[in-house]
Structure 1
C-alpha cells in the first residue's frame, strides 16, 4: 500500500479511509475520488442524515462546489439572499446593510447561497456513491497504528488497513483524541437554539430576503430563507454560565426560547411564535492544536479548528480544507502534502476563528453603552466608508482555494 502519490508525473491510486460522513468528510471523499483515489468513509451513526437546519455557502465555498460539479444540483434547493444585515433587536434599525445577490456574485466570482444542511448532505452522498466512494455506517473508530507500509485502523469488531487515515469527525473527534490525547472541548459560555418555520405561516410579517443578524444585549438571533423561500431558518444564541446537559445537542423547549427573546422586534418574535420544534447546542471550542497530523493520519474541519457560528464559515472552512487536502494528496507524497496543508490552512482558519469571536462581542453589545457605540460606529462606517467593510468581507468571501498554486 505504500505507494507514492506522484511517481515520474504518473498519478498513483491510493486507498484512503475518511472518518466522518459530515459535510467536510463527504466533500473530501468526493474530491479524492474524482482524483482517482480509492476512498472509504466510516461513520459512527446508523443512518446517513445531517442534524441541523440551514447553512450559508459564501462565494469561497461555492467555488469549491463549482469545481466539484455539484453547484447545478444545489441550484434547485438554494435561496440567494439580497443583503447581509445587522439590525437592532428592538427597533429594527440597520447598523449594517451590505449587498449580496448579483452584487456579491460580480465582486467575488461566485454566488452566496443559503441551503438546508440536509439538501447539501444528500447531494454530496449521491455524488460520492456515483464516484465510487464506499460509505459504511455504524462503525466507531477505537484506535489506529502507523507503520512504514500503511495505517491500521481499529474499529469495533474489525480492523482495516489503508495508505492514509483522515479524521473529519467533528469537534468531538475520536481521531484527534487518539492523536493528541484526551482533552474535553471547553464551553464558550454560549448556546444556540436552531430551527425552521414555514414561510407560509408567517406571511403577515414579511421577513426580509436577507441574511439578518438581530443584535441585542448578551443575545443575538439570525434569520434567513431556505429552499427557494419555503422555509425561514433561525439561529438564536444566548450567553449562559454553564452547560449541564450530558449531550452536546438536545431538544429545546420552544416556550423557553420564545420567552428568552420576548420583547424583540416582531420579525423575531413572530418567527419564534410559529416554531414548534427546536434543538439546543452548546457552542464549544478548543485551544489551537500543536499539530494536525501524525505520520499517515491527518485532521480536517472541526476536528482541528472548530468554529463559532458568528461568521457563518464553519462549513465553508471544512469545504476549503477538503479541496486543498484532496489536491495536495494528488500532487505530493503524503508527508509533504500534510505539511503543506497545515501550513496553508492553519493561518486562514485561525483568522476566521478570531473574526468569529470578535463578532460575538459585537452582536451581543458587550460593554453596555460601549457595545452600543461600537454598533453605531459600524453604522457610520458602512454608510460613509463602505470600503472598510468591503475590505473585511473580501478577506473571507474573496478567498479562492481553487486558484491557489498548490
Structure 2
C-alpha cells in the first residue's frame, strides 16, 4: 500500500502523525509526505520521505490573521491587540492592518501560491498513485489529491480540538486558490471529512462528524538528548516547564511569560526543570539556582519523572503530558490553546489560566494546588491508562489497509 501524507508548514501540527508513518513503514508500506520546502529537514529527521512541493500562507501568518479576525468580531479575549498578521509587529490600533489593501494585493499572492502548491500536490499524486491519503487539519492539498484520484482520505487530529467545535476555534483552513473548484470538486469543509484519526482518550474526545479512527497517542518530540539525572528523581516533586518555540512571534511579546513562571515556581519546595529554545533561555537573563535549564530536551523524557508540567496549551505538550500521566497547568494566549487547556481541565487533569491572568501569584497558587491535591493526579493517571488501552499505530495500520481496499 502507498500512503500519501500531507502536512502543514508547522512541524508540531504533524508530530502526532510521525509514529503512524513509522508503523506503516515497519509494516512494509510506502509513505511519502507532501510538505513545504521549509519542512524538508524536519520530515527527513523523522525518518520519512519528503515531497517539498507545497506553498501558500505560512501557519504563523494564518494564526495571526485569525487573531485579527477574532478582534474585529469582538471575540479577542486579551487586553492587548493581536500582532500585525503580515509583519508580526505590535499594533496600536486595528487600523494598523489595512484589510482592504491586503485583499487587493497580498491575499491574491497567497491565493496564487496556494493554487500552485495544490497543483503540484495533485501532479505528484497522479504520478505516484497512492492508495490512501492522511493529512493534518491545516493541509488541504492531501484531501484534494484524494478526491481527484478517488481514493479515501483521513484527517489526523493533533490534539483535543475537533472539526466541529460548537463555538470555535475553527482549525480548518480556507482554500484561497479555489483549487477544489478548479478541479471540479465540492469545496473542502468540515462536513466533507469522511474519516478522522483521533489520538485523544475518551475523556477528552473532541467533536467530529465523521468515522472516528481511534489510535493511541505516541509522543514524538523530535530529536535531542536527556541528561542521566532526569531518570533519578530526587526527594522533592519535579515541575517541568516547557514553552512554545514561536509563541511570541504569533501572540506577541506579552505572551513571553517565562520570567514570570520561573519567578513564581522558584520559591516552591520543588525541583524546577525548564526546557526551551536557546533564544527563550537567553531572554530570561539570570536564572535562579533552584531552576535547571535544558535546551530542547525531548518533553517525553522530561515528563517521565515529573509531577507537574507548565506549558502554553499547545496540543503536543498537552497530549505528551496526558500520555505520561502528569497533571498540567496551561497558560494560554490563543483560542485553540485555550480549548486544549480547557479540555484538560474539564477532564480533571489540570488547571487553565488565560495568559492575561497568569500573574506570579496566580501561577504559584495553581502550582501549589496541583502539587498538593490528589484528585487531579489520579485523573491524569487514569487518562494515561485510557490512552494505553487505545489501538497502537501498528493496529491502526490494519484498519487503514481495509479502508484503502474499500
Instruction: Compute the TM-score of the two structures, normalised by the length of structure 1.
Output: 0.33
More strand by share: 1
Instruction: Compute the TM-score of the two structures, normalised by the length of structure 2.
Output: 0.33
